[in-house]
Chains A and B, each alone.
Chain A
Amino acid sequence: NAGVTQTPKFRVLKTGQSMTLLCAQDMNHEYMYWYRQDPGMGLRLIHYSVGEGTTAKGEVPDGYNVSRLKKQNFLLGLESAAPSQTSVYFCASNRGYNEQFFGPGTRLTVL
């Protein structure tokens, strides 16, 4: 099993550009999450999904959109990137109350 994978690993954008980050999991987990990690801030939840076709806002959802068209995939979109969105993005998944499994992360720089 590959676990949780994220595409791409690195990306540099210019202000105003758009992009989509892809998260895939092969563990048949119902729940999936997108976090951002910034120095000294820990992990902050952007959006999450409790099942195929469902999404919900987390702590810092502004400027991001998500979609969960297939159970195994969770997409994070930035419609108009801003320098404040420079961060490391992590995807995670789980079955609910138990531990979350994390992907390797995507390092995004917005110039």
Chain B
Amino acid sequence: AQSVTQLDSQVPVFEEAPVELRCNYSSSVSVYLFWYVQYPNQGLQLLLKYLSGSTLVKGINGFEAEFNKSQTSFHLRKPSVHISDTAEYFCAVSADGGSQGNLIFGKGTKLSVKP
């Protein structure tokens, strides 16, 4: 069965600094990978996804992630964060190789950007 581990529950960072949010997964089959963002009191919004092809994926708001099959990781990065990036970020992996659309979510990482 698939699982997702987000290694940091909270990440504080100063504005304009770079940030990396870590995500590792376990799966015995091919996976699809996703990062979602949740702003306070809102639903989840897709940041980026990896389905196939290039392992470096660019998303919205200047975020990018790299799929590393050998390390089973899909870390999220941004070179310079803004106050508005303060939110909770969730990594997700397709269950069952994506055959039924189910996703397995990590427990989330709260990014706090300070001025």
Which residues on A are within 8 Å of B, measured CB to CB? 4, 31, 33, 40-45, 48, 50, 58, 90, 92, 94-105
Q: How far is the CA of A71 from the CA of B55 in the complex (A)?
A: 35
A99 lies within 8 A of B46 (CB): yes
Cβ contact within 8 Å between A42 and B105: yes
B residues near A45, Cβ cutoff 8 Å:
102
- Contacts A31-B100, A31-B101, A33-B102; is A97 near B107 (CB within 8 Å)? no
Q: Give the B interface residue count (CB, 8 A).
A: 23
List chain A residues, Cβ under 8 A from B44: 43, 90, 92, 102
Using known A-B contacts A40-B107, A97-B94, A99-B34, determine if residue A48 contacts B45 with beta carbons closer than 8 Å: no
Given A41-B107, A42-B108, decide whether A102 and B98 contact each other with a Cβ distance below 8 A.
Answer: no
Q: Contact between A90 and B94 (Cβ–Cβ < 8 Å)?
A: no
Cross-interface CB contact of A97 among B9, B46, B98, cutoff 8 Å: B98
